[in-house]
Homo-oligomer: A and B are copies of this chain.
């Protein structure tokens, strides 16, 4: 039986999140009221029938370990397969591998162990709710070495700059991957590759001292490999800057976007035991996304509240992202603000950022 295994490769992900990633990896950035960025890549994999997923991560992975736990929220707490978080821990003095090749080289066991003969590779910054079953079917039908998933974006923004553009012939075979700013066919960072080939490419890259498996081993060798393309259609976001992070959160406040991202199959995240949201007598909530555990007695508009946020009476929140367990006292006014986890805003405070550059308050601050 043809099967895929999963790999979420966080090496080489470009991101500019400043305060938001001082203490966490970009993959564990909170998103859309109760998720972390990595939930999308991970859920898309399990929704594709994948039963073993590895995560290559170099640093600040503590919150990631905490979030993923035993993998049970994704049904990946398995005796065979399951979830493997693979931080660097290499002790072979003869090892000469560089960049993400170090991860591939030092984790060969993971690839050999599984029954799968294809690998679905993904980053954490392409956000969508999908499965790759159809892409896999076409990958098999065309007997492709690699199938790259791309999407057609309406407006090219700075967050797309870091991704290659895909050019194909009329049959869908990839002819070039470029940085052409006018090409709207943006590679999503997601691709399917034959397992044996992947391991060959690892050897090749190490032999030639390369440090980026996709760039050096696939993109630069398109002529030698059979690389097919698969076009993803559907709601998506690329998130790799504070600006795109804020904008993509806010976009979800348009109902049709929220629906398109969260229709079935559901994205899974770590479960918690928060009770339903309590709206109190003075609550006025409008066009907002509210996660369980919140208690609201104030005025919330165009905002996203993560789990366990408290908003007291006579406070107003506008166009803001309020992360887990923040406490907003009375008579507070917040507009275009991002509060990281556990922020406590004292009574009477007034904070206003801009739409282009929201005001960010780091974790656990009292303001």
Q: How far is the CB of A11 from chain B (nearest CB, A)?
A: 15
> With A22-B91, A91-B22 given, is the CB distance from A72 to B61 under 8 Å?
no
CA distance A358 to B364 in the complex (A): 56
Q: How far is the CB of A52 from chain B (nearest CB, A)?
A: 13
Interface of chain A, main secondary structure: loop
Task: Pick from B70, B87, B92, B271: contact of A70, CB below 8 A.
Answer: B70
Residue of B nearest to A57 (CB): B89
8 Å CB contacts to B: which residues of A76-92?
A: 77, 79, 82, 85-87, 89, 91-92
8 Å CB contacts to B: which residues of A5-35?
A: 22-23
Does A71 belong to the interface (CB within 8 Å)? yes
CA distance A130 to B31 in the complex (A): 46
Q: How far is the CB of A103 from chain B (nearest CB, A)?
A: 12
CA distance A59 to B89 in the complex (A): 6
Contacts of A271 in B (CB 8 A): 79
Q: How far is the CB of A56 from chain B (nearest CB, A)?
A: 13
Residue of B nearest to A86 (CB): B62
Does A105 belong to the interface (CB within 8 Å)? no
Count class of interface residues, chain A: 20 to 34
Does A133 belong to the interface (CB within 8 Å)? no
Contacts of A62 in B (CB 8 A): 86, 89
A70, B77: Cβ atoms under 8 Å? Answer: yes
Residue of B nearest to A70 (CB): B70
Does A60 belong to the interface (CB within 8 Å)? yes
Contacts of A65 in B (CB 8 A): 85
CA distance A249 to B72 in the complex (A): 37
Residue of B nearest to A25 (CB): B89
CA distance A271 to B80 in the complex (A): 12
CA distance A264 to B70 in the complex (A): 28
| Interface flags, A87-110, vs B, CB<8A=1, else 0 | 101011000000000000000000
CA distance A6 to B51 in the complex (A): 31
Residue pairs across A and B with Cβ atoms less than 8 A apart, 24 shown, are A22-B91, A23-B91, A23-B92, A59-B89, A59-B91, A60-B89, A60-B91, A61-B89, A62-B86, A62-B89, A65-B85, A69-B79, A69-B82, A70-B70, A70-B71, A70-B72, A70-B77, A70-B82, A72-B77, A72-B79, A77-B77, A79-B271, A87-B87, A87-B89
